[in-house]
Structure 1
Amino acid sequence: MGFLNVNGRAAGVGVGMGVGALLAWWAWRRHRQLDAPTRWEKVGEVSELVIYPLKSGRGVKVTEAEATQYGLGVDYLEDRSFLAVNKEGKFLTGRQLPKLTTVVVNLNGTKVTLEAPGAEKLELDLKNVTRAAKVTDAVVFNADVRGFDCGDEAAAWLTNAVNDGVVEGGTRLLYHGNLTRDRKAREPAYYSFSQYKASDKVLYADTCAFMLTSETSLADLNSRLERPITLDWFRSNIVVRGVKEPYDEDDYAFVRIGDVVFRRLKPCDRCVFTNVDPEVGKKCEDGEPINTLKKYRHVDGPEKLQRTWAQKPVFGVHLGIDACGKVCVGDKVEVARASCNPRWKYL
């Protein structure tokens, strides 16, 4: 779908071009076709699809979802569409407030339900939130974003559930409400990855719209840990079952699930947030699993990336999307490998 739209627009413009411009356009089009995958390899099947409505909140596991430009979604339930902020509008995550990982945000139509251990359930209606039109400016990793403030009752509930007096002035809850649709995916400051496109968008996510991991990679990591963990610690949107080798996803340049085509943006480097146990909302004093990952996850790449990944080890892969559509648990997962095409490397 995405490739057809791009080529369709270019073809329409090309009719009135001069010969030189037309030849340049044809070379560009041919280059794109050469770069597009023509050979796919089955590596497994989808075992989990997870939507994280609240940034840093608990994931909602679904059996099918729409893979959109902004991430996985089911009706109003969209990935990273709610955001916790402080009184100055700066975003808050499980890094500062580990208990955020225990908060469940679910939607039934426009009705929102907030739940957390030890807190009474709170219900909101997004129609009332957007009708109030209280728009708040916020900042996510130096990017300006906006959102509808969900009101004093939601702010009091969230503060009581997760704050523990850590954030002065408490916390407030924002809903994107179509106010952030033009936000581009954030390319990291430490390296320029050529696979990013202007079409890669996010709502309140950090870097990209999708993150994929495999059960096989988790099994390998757990064999090295004293205390096994789950993939909930890594906050994957798409989990693959049946992959033969651990960390095979390091080599995925494109991923195809049904008619949906994802494009690898970069390996997913991990920070201290991974040390938060999402079941109890507490940081692990032993620094796991990051400390173990640092010992053996030495991924090939340019020297500059090697230095970064020595401190922020890689687990999983960040994806953009080239063709949107429905994905389901049980769907076949096919890939085109970066090792098969030099243009699909990091450079």
Structure 2
Amino acid sequence: MPEFPSNNLVLGGLVACAVGVLGISYLLRRDRRKFTQVGVVSKLFVHPIKSCRGLEVSQAECVALGMRSDGVMDRSFLIVCPEGRFVSQRQQPSIALISPSLSEDKESVLVNAPGMPTLTVHLEDPKGPVYNIKLWRLMVEGEDCGQAASEWLSQYLGSPGYKLVRHSQRFKGKVFLEDSLWGSEGKRGERSAYQDLAQVNILSVASLDSLNSKLDKPVQIRNFRPNIVVEGTPAFYEDKWKYVRIGENILLRTTHLCGRCRQTTVDPDTGKFMENGDPLKTLKSYRMASPDDPYRNRYGAAPLFGTNLAIESFGCINLGDPVYASMV
């Protein structure tokens, strides 16, 4: 009687073939990438507290959870209201005036705002109570930064019960694949801190110039809170980038374009909504998803301005670094 291979051998062979096919597929996709220089890095921002003023830096490091400068992670702190929801400029435009900075010894974040004393928040884990907070479509964990931070925020915002929480190193972060809207664009192992989802946002100088040419009163790059600003590329060329390489080490993958909301209408210098509804109103007149965009329904009523990207390889970014893009 002829001998047949065991089920384990058959299964092993199938797995090996599948892995081989996937590996070849990956190599073919990688080989199709044609990187050309599209500009240089002209500005870098890290926003320690979500929705508050960012730090403009000369160098930043791309790590698993996003961008980091001098030990301060982008969007690693979050303001939470008394009802337990995260707070942004949409609800409290005055938090645009909350300005974090790094202490000289680089062990604390110093938080300032008009009419307020300086709040010192140590960067080491506070080991306070841990809360579960819904951040858009996913739950996140946040560790309480203490009573002093709570009292400072409550005084500034004029109501008791606000808290400042931070993303502890013990937390796994938001998992891209679990997001109900954009999870299909994620890859296994990708995660972020308190960013809306993807870890990095890129915007070009030319795109901002294009928008400002249509406005009665120009707006700032700070209205849009990008991490990386690229100079030397045509307006909205970043819409087409599938992969971005910065220098020799950093590789980023576009997950989706950035749908903009009411937060863009907060004047970052006054912490108040601009009465004319711009720049959002003007963006809606010419920057909506096209009818043939497969993601049009996901973007909904949000105009598109800037690009969200996932970090595929880690390293440092410096001002002036060349930026390369592949359209495939």
Of 32, 55, 63, 1:68 maps to 63
Within the alignment, does 1:254 sit opposite 2:243 as a pair? yes
Q: Unpaired runs of 5+ in structure 1?
A: 1-15, 342-347
Indicate the residue corresponding to 1:170 in structure 2.
161
CA 1:193–1:223 in 2, change beyond 3 Å: closer, same or farther? farther
Counterpart for residue 185 of structure 1: 176
Tell me the distance in 1 between the aligned counterparts of 2:245 and 2:293.
30
C-alpha distance after superposition, 1:273-293 (max 9, x if no partner): 111111111111211101101
SS at match of 2:28: helix
User: Separation in 2 of the partners of 1:286 and 1:187?
Assistant: 37
Computing the radius of gyration over CA atoms, which structure comes out larger, 1 or 2?
Answer: 2
Note closer, same or farther for the CA distance 1:110–1:294 as it changes in structure 2 (3 Å cut).
Answer: same
* Distance in 2 of aligned mates of 1:280 and 1:235: 16
SS of structure 2 residue aligned to 1:315: strand
1:160 corresponds to 2:155: yes
Corresponding residue SS for 2:218:
coil
Please give the alpha-carbon distance, in whole angstroms, between the structure 2 residues aligned to 1:84 and 1:192. Answer: 24
Could you tell me which of 82, 85, 91 is aligned with 2:80? 85
What per-residue deviation string (whole Å, max 9, x for no partner) do you get for residues 11-54 of structure 1?
A: xxxxx973332122111001111222542110100001100000
The residue identity in structure 2 corresponding to 1:62 is: V
Aligned to 2:256: 266
SS at match of 2:208: helix
Q: How many angstroms does 1:150 deviate by? A: 1.4
C-alpha separation in 1, matches of 2:319 and 2:137:
35
1:122 is aligned, of 101, 119, 122, to: 119
Contact 1:147 1:179 in 2 (8 A): no
Assess, with a 3 A threshold, how the Cα gap between structure 1 residues 304 and 242 changes in structure 2: closer, same or farther: closer
| Per-residue deviation, residues 212-252 of structure 1 (Å, max 9, x unmatched) | 00000000000000000111000100000111x21001100
Closer, same or farther: CA 291–43 of 1 in aligned 2, 3 Å = same
Structure 1 residues 221 and 188, CA gap change in structure 2 (3 angstroms): farther
Matched AA of 2:96: T
Distance in 2, matches of 1:236 and 1:192, equals: 19
- TM-score between the two structures when normalised by the length of structure 2: 0.89
- Work out whether 1:239 is the aligned partner of 2:235: no
Is residue 16 of structure 2 the alignment partner of residue 19 of structure 1?
no
> What SS is found at the alignment partner of 1:274?
helix
One-letter code aligned to 1:110: E
Cα distance in 2 for residues equivalent to 1:254 and 1:71: 16
Q: How does 1:1-347 map to 2 (within 5 A)?
A: 18-36=12-30, 38-108=33-103, 109-127=106-124, 130-131=126-127, 133-161=128-156, 163-165=157-159, 169-185=160-176, 189=180, 192=182, 194-243=184-233, 245-258=234-247, 259-300=249-290, 302=292, 305-306=295-296, 309=299, 311-337=301-327, 341=328
Distance 2:21 2:177 in 1: 29
Q: How many angstroms does 1:176 deviate by?
A: 1.3
Q: Could you say what secondary structure the match of 1:29 adopts?
A: helix
- Corresponding residue for residue 10 of structure 1: none
Alpha carbons 1:193, 1:265 under 8 Å: kept: no
Shift of 1:100: 1.1
Tell me, what secondary structure is at the counterpart of 1:120?
A: coil
Partner AA of 1:31 in structure 2 = S
**Distance in 2 between the 1:110 and 1:147 partners?**
20
* 8 Å Cα contact 2:66-2:200 kept in structure 1: yes
SS at match of 1:160: helix
Over 3 Å counting, the alpha-carbon distance change for 1:39 and 1:25 in structure 2 is same
Deviations 1:145-199 (A, max 9, x none): 22221112111111222x244xxx331101112143342137765x557432132
Task: State the AA in 1 paired with 2:274.
Answer: C
- C-alpha RMSD of the superposition: 2.3
Task: Give the secondary-structure state (helix, strand or coil) at the position aligned to 2:255.
Answer: strand
Paired with 2:193 and 2:53, the residues of 1 have a C-alpha distance of 17
Unaligned 5+ segments in structure 2 are 1-9
Q: How many residue pairs were aligned?
A: 316
Q: What is the letter of the counterpart of residue 152 of structure 2? A: W
- Superposed CA offset, 1:271-329 (max 9, x none): 11111111111111211101101111144364664356562100000000111111111
C-alpha distance 321-126 of structure 1, shift in aligned 2 (>3 A): closer
Secondary structure class of the residue paired with 1:216: helix
SS in 1 for 2:217: coil
- Residues 283 and 303 in structure 2, CA contact (< 8 A), matched pair in contact too: yes
Q: State the AA in 2 paired with 1:334.
A: Y
